[in-house]
Amino acid sequence: MTSASTPSSTQTVASTVSSDGAAIAYRVLGDPAARPLVLIHGWAQSSACWGPELLAELATRFRVVAMDLRGHGHSDVAEAGYDSAAQWADDVEAVLDAAGIGEGAGAILLGWSYGGIVVSDYLAARGEDRVAGIVLCGAVTSVSRSAGGAIGPAMIEVTSNGAFDEDPRKAVAALASFGSAMMRGGDGTSGQRIFGLSLATPPAVRQKLLTRRVDNDETLRGLGIPALVIHGEHDGVVLPSAGQANAEMIPGGRYVGFAESAHAPFLEETSKFLAELDSFTAGL
């Protein structure tokens, strides 16, 4: 079930209802006949994290579907579901259904940061029928002692120093530090957007996403589709070793390090990001 869409000159914004009744928002850009690229953002972000410039560029190549995870952006702040792999899979499936991405669509799922867990949750529950390949960008795929769940000092610091606090002074200080760690440099406007999205995510949601425990290693080892693993070599949020481990676990995995990037290579080295995505897509 999909709500009425609100078109703009460049995109359509819509929502669909997941299995538990929560509304999941998403935006669509690009040629309806093009290969679908489904963008799944990270912890305490939204579909706005990609930025209008990158979304517009991607829309010249793909039919872009960028979803807001539950509790984020324009999606419902549901009471539950944040610790459930099955619910995350249902949320993604609801968006794919609403966007008309069915079996054999040849979609690419691209998960950034925590979005890598959601991509893995979906594949574990629903398989590869709609998906031709995945891209893991600065991604964590497990919340466990698995190598694919290796978080860095910036993530440890933000969760220890007030990121879940309802006191705005404590939350602002913690999330500002986290926002600074996202990007090594580059566009200050993008860094401020990421900080703002973190602060706009309810404190309870920020906490609930990180209380679950999941290990997706076996899912990755069993994948029968190609995977591009992109990781900033200066990432202090999710360690590069997590990306390297994921690429090694996936039979069709390829790791590409971004020498000038921290946690957001798609914003820090956009030209290289697009070139790697083009090369990956050409091989599908």
- Read off the pLDDT of each residue in 162-181 and give the average, rounded to a whole number: 88
Structure tokens given for 97: 């259904």
pLDDT given for residue 206 in this prediction = 94
| Per-residue pLDDT reduced to its tens digit, 186-244 | 677 888 999 999 999 999 999 999 888 889 999 999 999 999 999 999 999 999 999 99
Residue 156 and residue 142: Cα distance in Å, rounded?
Answer: 15
Q: How many helices (H) and strands (E) does the chain have?
A: 11, 9
| Per-residue pLDDT reduced to its tens digit, 110-151 | 999 999 999 999 999 999 999 999 999 999 998 866 665 678
Residue with tokens 């986290």, as numbered in its chain: 178
Secondary-structure class of domain 6-151+213-282 per CATH: alpha beta
Structural domain spans, the chain: 6-151+213-282
| CA triple 167-171-177, angle to 5 deg | 155
pLDDT given for residue 186 in this prediction = 61
**pLDDT reading at 6 higher than 70:** no
pLDDT given for residue 143 in this prediction = 83
Residue 209 and residue 43: Cα distance in Å, rounded?
Answer: 7
| Per-residue pLDDT reduced to its tens digit, 29-70 | 999 999 999 999 999 999 999 999 999 999 999 999 999 999
**Displacement of CA 68 from its chain's centroid (Å):** 9
pLDDT given for residue 158 in this prediction = 83
pLDDT given for residue 201 in this prediction = 96
Identify the CA nearest to 185 among candidates 246, 87, 260: 260
| CA triple 264-131-66, angle to 5 deg | 45
**Displacement of CA 268 from its chain's centroid (Å):** 16
- For the question of whether the overall pTM of this predicted structure is more than 0.85, the answer is yes
Q: How far is CA 265 from CA 50, 53, 204, 216, in A?
A: 11, 14, 28, 23
